[in-house]
Amino acid sequence: MFWEAVINGLKVLLHWQTYVIAIMYLIISFLPIIVVMLAGNKSDDRMTKGGCLAILIQPLFQSLGVFISVCTLFPIMLFGRSEAAWSLPWLLIVNIPGRILILLIIMLVLSIAGAFIPLLGRANSFIMFIMGGAVLVFLTKILQNINPELGIRRIDILPGFHTIIGIVIVSGVASWLGIIASAGAVTILLRDNENISQLIMIPLGSVFGFIPIFIYGAWLGLQIQGL
């Protein structure tokens, strides 16, 4: 089932919604810094204070970006559907804001704690895996409460140690290969437009960072479909 999950997870890259979400993720993640940059005509003292505040709250906005991205791509990741759930993250934020805030804080804590794990903590794929994994577990629990007849209680929500290691390694290699291939293709096609090629590579790099979440989501989806 592991390799089937890997294949299904990589198929998420074939959906155009994935790349729209990557751009949204970047904007949301760096929104505090963008606001400070747009307010660049203010006094130096305000800019300094605003910059410090932006740096402090930026990780929380990154968690929000991951949350919105995973929620939106949830049906594509788990069930291979062609349509994303564009309204799902906003419905959850409006209806259960307290629980969403707690989830964002948990994601932030997990990302900080995960960074201290030897070897794994240095892998960006592992950090994205635990942040996005928290959202997937949260959404799976909601799906379980909405449709108890699906029997989702019988699936393994948390993968085993070897599965986690496999997801991190495969994701890291796939992300690396994807970035190299994309950079080569973009360089060849836009060799005379360096600025445009750099702008294209930023969201592409973000997309490849989501690969471990895609694989984990596909792993959960295969179990649910097998019930």
For residues 25-29, average pLDDT: 88
Chain segment 96-126, per-residue pLDDT in tens: 999 999 999 999 999 889 888 887 777 788 8
Most confident of 35-44, 64-73, 152-161, 199-208: 64-73
Residue whose C-alpha is closest to residue 168's, from 133, 124, 116, 134 = 124
pTM flag (> 0.85) = yes
Alpha-carbon distance of 6 to 126, in angstroms, equals: 15
CA distance 227 to 224: 5
- 160 φψ region: left (φ > 0), alpha (ψ -120 to 50), beta (else): beta
Q: Where are the beta strands (DSSP E) in the chain?
A: none
pLDDT (0 to 100) of residue 209: 87
Tell me 41's DSSP state.
T
CA distances from 160 to 126, 207, 219 (A): 14, 25, 12
- Under the banding of pLDDT at 50, 70 and 90, the label for residue 50 is low
Q: Give residue 198's pLDDT.
A: 64
Highest averaged pLDDT of the listed ranges 22-26, 45-49, 187-191: 22-26
DSSP of 175-220, one letter per residue? Answer: HHHHHHHHHHHHHHHTTT-HHHHHHHHHHHHHHHHTHHHHHHHHHH
**Domain region containing 175:** 2-225
How much is the average pLDDT of 6-13? 95
**Token pair 């709250």 in the structure block, residue:** 57
C-alpha distances in Å from residue 189, one per residue of 52, 180, 183, 198, 207: 39, 14, 10, 12, 20
Please give the mean pLDDT across all residues of the chain: 85
Q: From residue 92, give the alpha-carbon distance in Å to each of 129, 136, 214, 222.
A: 21, 14, 21, 25
With tokens 């090629």, the residue in question is 197
Stretch 91-100: mean pLDDT: 95
Angle in degrees, 0-180, between the axes of helices 44-79 and 16-29, rounded to the nearest 10: 150
Q: Domain count of the chain? A: 1
Percent of the chain with pLDDT over 70: 85
State the amino acid at position 179 in one-letter form: I
Amino acid at 95: N
Q: Are 140 and 157 in contact (CB under 8 A)?
A: yes
CA distance 169 to 197: 28
pLDDT digit string, tens, across residues 167-208:
989 998 998 888 888 777 777 766 666 666 666 666 677 788
